[in-house]
Amino acid sequence: MENLRNKIKELYSSTELSEKQQKSLLENGSVKLFKHWDTIFKESGFGNGIFNRIYYILSVYSHSEGLSIIQMKSAKYLLDKKENSSMVFMQLFCSTLMTAVMIKNICSKHKSCNGRFKEIDPKEQHTVNFFTKLAKKAIA
Protein backbone atom coordinates (compact mmCIF):
# COMPACT_ATOMS: atom_id res chain seq x y z
CA MET A 1 0.00 0.00 0.00
CA GLU A 2 2.82 2.37 0.81
CA ASN A 3 4.35 1.72 -2.62
CA LEU A 4 1.03 2.68 -4.28
CA ARG A 5 0.73 5.80 -2.12
CA ASN A 6 4.21 6.88 -3.20
CA LYS A 7 3.34 6.32 -6.87
CA ILE A 8 0.17 8.40 -6.46
CA LYS A 9 2.16 11.20 -4.82
CA GLU A 10 4.45 11.32 -7.88
CA LEU A 11 1.61 11.66 -10.39
CA TYR A 12 1.25 15.06 -12.04
CA SER A 13 -2.49 15.09 -11.34
CA SER A 14 -1.77 14.50 -7.65
CA THR A 15 0.64 17.44 -7.44
CA GLU A 16 -2.11 19.79 -8.67
CA LEU A 17 -4.24 18.99 -5.61
CA SER A 18 -4.04 21.04 -2.45
CA GLU A 19 -2.29 19.52 0.58
CA LYS A 20 -5.69 18.88 2.17
CA GLN A 21 -6.95 17.12 -0.97
CA GLN A 22 -3.77 15.03 -1.25
CA LYS A 23 -4.07 13.98 2.37
CA SER A 24 -7.74 13.09 1.95
CA LEU A 25 -6.99 11.08 -1.18
CA LEU A 26 -4.08 9.17 0.31
CA GLU A 27 -5.59 8.55 3.74
CA ASN A 28 -9.28 8.13 2.95
CA GLY A 29 -9.35 7.35 -0.76
CA SER A 30 -11.86 10.16 -1.21
CA VAL A 31 -13.04 10.59 -4.80
CA LYS A 32 -15.07 13.69 -3.98
CA LEU A 33 -11.91 15.72 -4.59
CA PHE A 34 -12.19 15.77 -8.30
CA LYS A 35 -14.50 17.18 -10.92
CA HIS A 36 -18.27 16.85 -10.72
CA TRP A 37 -19.79 14.20 -12.98
CA ASP A 38 -21.42 16.85 -15.18
CA THR A 39 -18.01 18.40 -15.84
CA ILE A 40 -16.47 15.01 -16.59
CA PHE A 41 -19.32 14.24 -19.02
CA LYS A 42 -18.86 17.56 -20.84
CA GLU A 43 -15.07 17.20 -21.09
CA SER A 44 -15.44 13.61 -22.34
CA GLY A 45 -17.90 14.57 -25.05
CA PHE A 46 -20.93 13.05 -23.33
CA GLY A 47 -22.41 16.34 -22.12
CA ASN A 48 -25.15 17.09 -24.63
CA GLY A 49 -26.72 13.74 -25.32
CA ILE A 50 -28.51 10.89 -23.71
CA PHE A 51 -25.89 10.25 -21.05
CA ASN A 52 -26.83 13.16 -18.78
CA ARG A 53 -30.35 11.81 -18.56
CA ILE A 54 -29.31 8.20 -18.16
CA TYR A 55 -26.80 9.16 -15.47
CA TYR A 56 -29.55 11.03 -13.64
CA ILE A 57 -31.94 8.07 -13.86
CA LEU A 58 -29.33 5.55 -12.75
CA SER A 59 -28.04 7.85 -10.02
CA VAL A 60 -31.50 8.44 -8.59
CA TYR A 61 -32.21 4.74 -8.81
CA SER A 62 -28.99 3.72 -7.07
CA HIS A 63 -29.15 6.43 -4.39
CA SER A 64 -32.77 6.09 -3.45
CA GLU A 65 -31.75 4.44 -0.18
CA GLY A 66 -34.22 1.82 1.04
CA LEU A 67 -36.19 1.71 -2.20
CA SER A 68 -33.20 0.60 -4.27
CA ILE A 69 -32.50 -2.25 -1.84
CA ILE A 70 -36.05 -3.50 -2.28
CA GLN A 71 -35.84 -3.10 -6.06
CA MET A 72 -32.48 -4.85 -6.29
CA LYS A 73 -33.69 -7.71 -4.13
CA SER A 74 -36.83 -8.24 -6.19
CA ALA A 75 -35.22 -7.68 -9.61
CA LYS A 76 -32.93 -10.71 -9.50
CA TYR A 77 -30.95 -9.46 -12.50
CA LEU A 78 -31.09 -12.45 -14.78
CA LEU A 79 -30.87 -12.00 -18.51
CA ASP A 80 -33.62 -14.53 -19.09
CA LYS A 81 -36.16 -12.56 -17.03
CA LYS A 82 -38.38 -10.71 -19.50
CA GLU A 83 -38.83 -7.69 -17.23
CA ASN A 84 -35.05 -7.09 -17.25
CA SER A 85 -34.53 -7.23 -21.01
CA SER A 86 -35.28 -3.55 -21.71
CA MET A 87 -32.88 -2.38 -18.99
CA VAL A 88 -30.18 -4.75 -20.21
CA PHE A 89 -30.67 -3.53 -23.79
CA MET A 90 -30.45 0.12 -22.68
CA GLN A 91 -27.28 -0.52 -20.69
CA LEU A 92 -25.64 -2.40 -23.58
CA PHE A 93 -26.63 0.28 -26.07
CA CYS A 94 -25.29 3.06 -23.83
CA SER A 95 -22.07 1.10 -23.34
CA THR A 96 -21.71 0.87 -27.12
CA LEU A 97 -22.21 4.62 -27.51
CA MET A 98 -19.77 5.43 -24.72
CA THR A 99 -17.17 3.06 -26.16
CA ALA A 100 -17.42 4.78 -29.55
CA VAL A 101 -16.95 8.23 -27.97
CA MET A 102 -13.99 7.00 -25.94
CA ILE A 103 -12.37 5.54 -29.08
CA LYS A 104 -12.71 8.90 -30.84
CA ASN A 105 -11.43 10.79 -27.77
CA ILE A 106 -8.36 8.55 -27.54
CA CYS A 107 -7.74 8.86 -31.28
CA SER A 108 -7.89 12.64 -31.06
CA LYS A 109 -5.32 12.70 -28.27
CA HIS A 110 -2.90 10.05 -29.53
CA LYS A 111 -1.64 10.10 -33.12
CA SER A 112 -0.58 6.45 -33.05
CA CYS A 113 -4.09 5.38 -32.01
CA ASN A 114 -5.61 7.56 -34.71
CA GLY A 115 -3.32 5.99 -37.29
CA ARG A 116 -4.34 2.52 -36.14
CA PHE A 117 -8.02 3.52 -36.24
CA LYS A 118 -7.64 4.62 -39.86
CA GLU A 119 -6.26 1.17 -40.72
CA ILE A 120 -9.34 -0.75 -39.54
CA ASP A 121 -12.17 -1.79 -41.83
CA PRO A 122 -14.03 1.27 -43.18
CA LYS A 123 -17.35 -0.23 -42.04
CA GLU A 124 -16.05 -0.40 -38.47
CA GLN A 125 -14.79 3.19 -38.74
CA HIS A 126 -18.23 4.24 -39.96
CA THR A 127 -19.91 2.43 -37.05
CA VAL A 128 -17.67 4.16 -34.49
CA ASN A 129 -18.21 7.55 -36.17
CA PHE A 130 -21.98 7.00 -36.37
CA PHE A 131 -22.31 6.00 -32.70
CA THR A 132 -20.11 8.92 -31.66
CA LYS A 133 -22.34 11.39 -33.52
CA LEU A 134 -25.43 9.74 -32.10
CA ALA A 135 -24.04 9.93 -28.56
CA LYS A 136 -23.16 13.61 -28.87
CA LYS A 137 -26.46 14.60 -30.44
CA ALA A 138 -28.33 17.00 -28.18
CA ILE A 139 -31.65 15.79 -26.88
CA ALA A 140 -34.46 18.33 -27.06
pLDDT at 138: 65
Q: How many domains does the chain contain in total?
A: 2
pLDDT at 33: 59
Which residue segment(s) compose the domain that 82 sits in? 37-136
Q: Are residues 75 and 132 in the same domain?
A: yes
State pLDDT tens for residues 111-121. 999 999 999 99
Question: pLDDT category, 66, cuts 50, 70, 90?
Answer: very low
Whether the pLDDT of residue 32 is over 70: the answer is: no
Q: Are residues 103 and 88 in the same domain?
A: yes
Q: Provide the mean pLDDT of the chain.
A: 76
Q: Are residues 64 and 123 in the same domain?
A: yes
State pLDDT tens for residues 81-125. 676 677 777 778 888 988 999 999 999 999 999 999 999 999 999
State pLDDT tens for residues 38-52. 677 777 776 666 776
Are 54 and 94 a contacting pair, CB within 8 Å? yes
Q: Are residues 18 and 77 in the same domain?
A: no
Between 40 and 133, the more confident residue is 133
